[in-house]
Amino acid sequence: MQPAGIANKMSPSYKMVRKYFIASICGFAMLTFLMFINADSITGYHFQPKLLGLTHIATLGWITMIIFGAMFQLVPVVLQVKLFSERLGEIQFWVYLASVTGMVLSFFKFDTFLLAVFASLVSLAILIFIFNITASLIRVKEWNITGTYLAAALFYLFFTVAAGIMMAINLYSPYFKTNHLEYLKLHAHLAFVGWVSMVIMGVTYKLIPMFSLSHGFSLKPAKWVFVFINAGLILLTVEYHFPRRTIMLPISTALIACGNLTFLYQVYLIMKNRVRKNLDVGLTYSMVSFGMMFAATIVGVFLVFEKFLDFDALTRVVLIYGYMILFGYFSLLIVGQMYKIVPFLVWFHKFSSKVGFEPVPLLKDMYSEKLARAEFVLMIFAVAVTITAMALENKILMYASTGVMFVSSLLFLKNMFSIFFIRSVKNDK
């Protein structure tokens, strides 16, 4: 079976894309390990060195790194356009890997000078990515809704980077006239809603129907999602630049929430029209992650009424909110999609030319599904217990849950490496 839809003649170098995927998967394992050994620090107010360091490993070293690889692979295939420059993709990888590592270490040490330096280098690498993808997109002849979402995601990525570098410089040499933490909230929402979620939504409209064999559904809700999310983000950006004396915050929150709920309705329509009724491990992860997206949206709406919470309760809710997004929504979805994308990608580059000449593995035989299902149970358990530990501020539960998450990340790492480094049918047994 040829993995059409993931790779074709428009695809960039497999070796380049593989670098991003492997680095991000290793970054996820490192993230869960550092969370385990620093479990006693995952509590209290979110603006503290270790939590900021862990958050940026998650957002930059794990989530954004894997999105880079996915976009390099999927943009040419989905939009039928060659990547502008693979060489820029190679340069970007090494600059980004080194600078993210330095930036995270700077957070842990809270060396604001080094933080500003490495944040500048991270920004440079991301700007290279934005230029490379934008230069590819302007040559697209047949546009579709996925391309529209990805173009918008690039727009928000640019402003996420701009806000990030401004804050890094402000920590070293304060110059903001407004509260630094207001920009932090804007930075986080531009990253989570504008960058990551826009990519996820746009790619979902292509991948979920392909993996579930879904046909005949309407994409009208997807168009309303785009309107709701963008309108909400624009109002939110304006709100965070002015004192909170307006109703823009609840309106922007409501718009983003409507966008998220409409997106979930779109996913429902896709899954309702699927031919493949049974959910494999990849789609199981994805559906649970969408459930976590719904829960995080409810918590986000609740945070609009933060003035009714005391400081201690507010810090716990904010911590839970961030964790639900990063691990319950983003991470579960990414892990699930990796079980769909990586086997297709590796099979295409290693085995498609051998069909009819020698035995080749089936996609489902390229990794252990039993291991993947065990990993799924452990991850769900870890997410649930970590949220409970944050709510109760219980360090014993936090160590237990982060330890389980670390183990599950190692199982994920093992399965992914068995796919990336598979050589023959015999080696898969």
Segments making up each domain of the chain, as ranges: 8-142
Distance CA 205, CA 222 (A): 8
User: Per-residue pLDDT averaged across 8-17, rounded?
Assistant: 87
Q: Cα(first)–Cα(last) distance of the chain, in Å?
A: 19
pLDDT recorded at residue 397:
95
For residue 246, what are its two tokens?
């307006």
What are the pLDDT digits (tens) for 50-109?
A: 899 999 999 999 999 999 999 999 999 999 999 999 999 999 999 999 999 999 999 999
Distance CA 344, CA 13 (A): 15
Q: Which residue has the tokens 């709701």?
A: 228
pLDDT at 388 over 90: yes
Distance CA 70, CA 349 (A): 16
Of the candidates 280, 260, 261, 264, the residue with the CA atom closest to the CA atom of residue 272:
264
Of the candidates 12, 31, 10, 32, the residue with the CA atom closest to the CA atom of residue 20:
12
User: Per-residue pLDDT averaged across 268-282, rounded?
Assistant: 91
pLDDT band at 4 (very low <50, low <70, confident <90, very high): very low
What are the pLDDT digits (tens) for 143-154?
A: 999 999 999 999
pLDDT recorded at residue 424:
61
User: Per-residue pLDDT averaged across 356-378, rounded?
Assistant: 88
For residue 192, what are its two tokens?
């989570």
pLDDT band at 394 (very low <50, low <70, confident <90, very high): very high
pTM metric for this prediction: 0.92
Residue 325 DSSP label:
I
**Residue 301: HSE in the Cβ half-sphere, 13 Å Cα cutoff:** 14
pLDDT recorded at residue 244:
59
pLDDT at 324 over 80: yes
pLDDT recorded at residue 46:
66
pLDDT recorded at residue 242:
66
**Which is higher by pLDDT, 249 or 95?**
95
Contacts of 9 (CB under 8 A, 6+ apart): none
pLDDT at 356 over 80: no
Q: How many CB atoms lie within 10 A of CB 333?
A: 23
DSSP 28-68: HHHHHHHHHHTGGGSSS-S-SHHHHHHHHIIIIIIIIHHHH
Q: What percent of the chain has pLDDT over 70?
A: 93
**Strand partners for 214:** 274
Of the candidates 51, 91, 78, 31, the residue with the CA atom closest to the CA atom of residue 335:
31
DSSP 175-229: --SS-HHHHHHHHHHIIIIIIIIHHHHHHHHHHHHHHHTB-S---HHHHHHHHHH
pLDDT at 427 over 50: no
